[in-house]
Amino acid sequence: MTPLNTFPVVIVTGMSGSGKSTALNVFEDLGFFCIDGLPSEMSPKIADLVHKNDTKYRGLALGMDLRQNEFVEGWDQALKDFAQIGISPQVVFLEAKKGELVRRYATTRRLHPLESTDLGLEKALEKEKELLAPVRMAAALVLDTTDYSIHDLRRVIQTKWSALEEAGRGMRVHIITFGFKYGVPSEADLVFDLRFLPNPHFDKDLRPLSGLDPAISKFVLDNEVGSGFNERFQDFMSYILPLYAEEGRYRITLALGCTGGRHRSVSVAESLLATLKKKGYSVSIEHRHMELG
């Protein structure tokens, strides 16, 4: 029997139309035994059974959503049942902007699980988002698939899941850098506007570089404004993250933005990444718009 601590159980869930079937296919390609459409009350029993009898699978991935009756109502009890058998499932939650979900449903011509003669598609999506809020809060990984193709989603899941496996257990911190002119990441829990920092864009020699280059980091942070902010910002994050952990948060996503998401936000994010790693946090980073500038 595979040891519990080396046999991951993943619950793939989220908004209808956000790409859960594709996500399950990715986990299947990663060597997971995958089951879709499983009622929440049955999931701990199935996980225990597969774990005890597994000889070849890397883990178990379960697709769960509102297509199953009483999914949300049985969620808390399912988590308790998992804990009783010594399994801590990792929740991967997929979502997308309402307009994109409406477009996808119009393309496939499928009915939303909550849609009825009394509830149109947009209202059904709003209701689903409200119902799934507690499940989203328990997620180790939240993915906004609005701008992803199938191939993009596959690549992102593979990359981020590998990062989660390497990070181990505990609250995870995910840092996203972005450009305000391209849009604020919808999955962010905290958003920081860094457009007050010195901007290398106006230096023709520095403009082609990114915040990953030492010259840019020095330009942004090695001055009175940049160093003063960075010191206070890291002190603030060091103070607030333990408070989130004490409240039982599984993960937190920080979005750091500047105009184009190439220089200032990347410099600050990389500095924060190094500090949080030294403090022992499970932390990952994504430079979402760095190559668009």
Residues marked as binding? 14-21, 65-68
| Tokens 């328990």 found at | 138
| Of 244, 243, 245, 198, the residue nearest 224 (C-alpha) | 198
Q: Cβ-count burial of 290 within 10 angstroms (0-12 exposed, 13-18 middle, 19+ buried)?
A: buried
| Of 238, 253, 236, 136, the residue nearest 184 (C-alpha) | 253
Q: Output DSSP code: residue 135.
A: H
- The HSE-up count of residue 204 (CA atoms within 13 Å, CB side) is 0
Q: Which residues does residue 11 pair with via DSSP β-bridges, in sequence order?
A: 62, 91
Question: Which residue type occupies 79?
Answer: L
From CA 280, how far away is CA 275, in angstroms rounded?
Answer: 9
Output the six-digit token pair for 86: 């010594």
| Of 217, 202, 209, the residue nearest 268 (C-alpha) | 217
How many other C-beta atoms are found inside a 10 Å radius of the C-beta of residue 78? Answer: 22
CB 281 within 8 A of CB 173: yes
CB 94 within 8 A of CB 145: yes
| Of 95, 234, 238, 244, the residue nearest 171 (C-alpha) | 244
Binding residues for GTP: 65-68
Binding residues for ATP: 14-21
Output the six-digit token pair for 291: 């190559």
Residue spans of beta strands (DSSP E) within 105-225: 141-144, 172-179, 190-193
